[in-house]
Chains A and B, each alone.
Chain A
Amino acid sequence: MELQAVLMAAGGGSRMTDLTYNTPKAMLPVGNKPLMWYPLNLLERVGFEEVIVITTREVHKMMSSDSKIKLDVKMKLDVVCIQEDGDMGTADALRHIQERIKTDILVVSCDLITDVALHEVVDLFRAYNATLAMLMSKAHEFTETVPGQKGKKKTAEQRDFVGVDQSGKRLLFMANEADLEDGLSIRKSIVRKHPRMHIKTGLVDAHLYCLKKAVVDFLVDNKSISSIRGELVPYLVRKQFSKTTNSQKIKDDAEDQNQKKNDGPTNHELLISSRDEPLLQLAQERSCWNDHRGDMSEAYHGGKLRCYVHIMDEGPCYRVNTLAAYIEANRLAPKLFEEPAVHPSAVISERCQMGSDSIIGAMCQVADKTSIKRSTIGNSTTVKEKVKVTNSIIMHGVTIEEGCNIQGSVICSNAVIGRGADLKYCLVGNGQRIEAEAERTNEVIVGTDQLMEI
Chain B
Amino acid sequence: MADSGETEGPGSKDVIERAKNEGRELTKEEKQRLRKEKKQQKKGKEKKDDKASQDGEKQKKPVSSASPAPQPATQPPTQKAPPAVPALVPVPASETPPPGDKPAKSKAELKAERRARQEAERASKQGKKGDVGGQQVAAGKPKAPPSELQPVVKRLPEYMQADNPEVLKKLAKKLERQQIPLRSDYGYKVSLFSHLHQYSRKAPLTQQLSIPSTVIHPAIVRLGLQYSQGIVAGSNARSVALLHAFKQVIRDYTTPPNEELSRDLVNKLKPYISFLNQCRPLSASMGNAIKYIKKEISNIPSQCKEEEAKSKLLTCIDCYINEKIILAAKAIAKSSIEKISDGDVILVYGCSSLVNHILCEAFEKNRKFRVIVVDSRPRLEGREALRRLVQRGISCTYVLISAVSYILPEVSKVFLGAHALLANGYVMSRVGTSQIALVAKAFNVPVLVCCETYKFCERVQTDSFVSNELDDPDDLIVTRKGKTQLEHWQDVRLLGLLNLVYDVTPPDFVDLVITDLGMIPCTSVPVVLRVKNVDQ
A binding-site residues for B, Cβ under 8 Å = 1-4, 46-49, 106, 117-119, 122-123, 126-129, 275-276, 279-280, 282-290, 293, 296
Cβ-defined contact, B231 with A127, below 8 A:
yes
Residue of A275, A284, A286 with most partner-chain B CB within 10 A: A286
Cβ-defined contact, A286 with B222, below 8 A:
no
Cβ-defined contact, B204 with A119, below 8 A:
yes
- Complex A-B: 6 CB contacts under 8 Å: A2-B212, A48-B210, A119-B209, A126-B218, A128-B231, A288-B384
Residue of B204, B226, B391 with most partner-chain A CB within 10 A: B226
Cβ-defined contact, B211 with A2, below 8 A:
yes
How far, in angstroms, from A1 to B221 measured CA to CA in the complex? 12
- The 9 A-B residue pairs with the shortest CB-CB distance, nearest first, are A47-B210, A2-B212, A288-B351, A287-B237, A2-B218, A286-B237, A286-B353, A283-B241, A3-B212
Cβ-defined contact, B244 with A127, below 8 A:
no
How far, in angstroms, from A120 to B283 measured CA to CA in the complex? 27
Known: A129-B222, A285-B353, A293-B383. 4 other contacts (CB 8 A): A119-B206, A119-B209, A128-B231, A288-B350
User: Closest approach, in angstroms, between the C-beta of B229 and any C-beta of chain A?
Assistant: 5
Which residues of A have CB within 8 Å of B225?
A: 123, 126-127
Mark contacts of B258-277 with chain A using CB atoms, 8 A cut-off: 1 yes-contact digit, 0 otherwise: 00000000000000000000
Interface flag for B512 (CB, 8 Å): no
Interface flag for B321 (CB, 8 Å): yes
Residue of A3, A123, A127 with most partner-chain B CB within 10 A: A127
Which residues of A have CB within 8 Å of B226?
A: 127
Interface flag for B102 (CB, 8 Å): no
Which residues of A have CB within 8 Å of B221?
A: 2, 126
How far, in angstroms, from A47 to B214 measured CA to CA in the complex? 9
Cβ-defined contact, A289 with B384, below 8 A:
yes
Which residues of B have CB within 8 Å of A48?
A: 210-212
Which residues of A have CB within 8 Å of B229?
A: 127
Cβ-defined contact, A296 with B390, below 8 A:
yes
Q: A279-B321, A288-B233 are in contact. Are A46 and B387 (CB under 8 A)?
A: no
Q: A119-B211, A279-B240 are in contact. Are A290 and B387 (CB under 8 A)?
A: yes
Q: A126-B225, A276-B247, A288-B385 are in contact. Are A283 and B237 (CB under 8 A)?
A: yes
Task: Name the CB-closest residue of B to A210.
Answer: B211
How far, in angstroms, from A47 to B206 measured CA to CA in the complex? 12
Which residues of A have CB within 8 Å of B325?
A: 282
How far, in angstroms, from A280 to B206 measured CA to CA in the complex? 22
Which residues of A have CB within 8 Å of B237?
A: 283-288
Residue of B211, B218, B236, B383 with most partner-chain A CB within 10 A: B211
How far, in angstroms, from A286 to B211 measured CA to CA in the complex? 30
Cβ-defined contact, A46 with B210, below 8 A:
yes
Interface flag for B213 (CB, 8 Å): yes
Cβ-defined contact, B233 with A289, below 8 A:
yes
How far, in angstroms, from A245 to B110 measured CA to CA in the complex? 80
Residue of B210, B218, B231 with most partner-chain A CB within 10 A: B231
Which residues of A have CB within 8 Å of B381?
A: 288
Looking at chain B's contact residues, is the secondary structure mostly helix, strand, loop, or mixed?
A: helix
Mark contacts of B306-348 with chain A using CB atoms, 8 A cut-off: 1 yes-contact digit, 0 otherwise: 0000000000000001000110000000000000000000000
Task: Name the CB-closest residue of B to A280.
Answer: B244
How far, in angstroms, from A48 to B351 measured CA to CA in the complex? 41
Interface flag for B207 (CB, 8 Å): yes
Which residues of A have CB within 8 Å of B427?
A: none
Which residues of B have CB within 8 Å of A129?
A: 222
How far, in angstroms, from A296 to B213 measured CA to CA in the complex? 37
Cβ-defined contact, A46 with B233, below 8 A:
no
Q: A280-B244, A282-B240, A283-B237 are in contact. Are A118 and B383 (CB under 8 A)?
A: no
Interface flag for B86 (CB, 8 Å): no
How far, in angstroms, from A289 to B226 measured CA to CA in the complex? 11
Task: Name the CB-closest residue of A to B210.
Answer: A47
Which residues of A have CB within 8 Å of B351?
A: 288
Which residues of B have CB within 8 Å of A123?
A: 204, 206, 225
How far, in angstroms, from A2 to B204 measured CA to CA in the complex? 18
How far, in angstroms, from A30 to B207 measured CA to CA in the complex? 28
Q: From A279, A289, A290, give the contact of B247 (CB < 8 A).
A: A279
User: Closest approach, in angstroms, between the C-beta of B456 and any C-beta of chain A?
Assistant: 19
Q: From B238, B321, B326, B384, give the contact of A290 (CB < 8 A).
A: B384
Interface flag for B230 (CB, 8 Å): yes
Q: A288-B384, A289-B384 are in contact. Are A119 and B212 (CB under 8 A)?
A: no
How far, in angstroms, from A275 to B252 measured CA to CA in the complex? 13
Interface flag for B519 (CB, 8 Å): no
Task: Name the CB-closest residue of B to A125.
Answer: B222
Interface flag for B243 (CB, 8 Å): yes
Interface flag for B234 (CB, 8 Å): yes
How far, in angstroms, from A48 to B210 measured CA to CA in the complex? 7
How far, in angstroms, from A275 to B249 measured CA to CA in the complex? 13
Which residues of A have CB within 8 Å of B112?
A: none
User: Closest approach, in angstroms, between the C-beta of B215 and any C-beta of chain A?
Assistant: 10
How far, in angstroms, from A296 to B350 measured CA to CA in the complex? 17
Cβ-defined contact, B211 with A118, below 8 A:
yes
User: Closest approach, in angstroms, between the C-beta of B155 and any C-beta of chain A?
Assistant: 33
Interface flag for B232 (CB, 8 Å): yes
User: Closest approach, in angstroms, between the C-beta of A394 and any C-beta of chain B?
Assistant: 37
Which residues of A have CB within 8 Å of B251?
A: 275
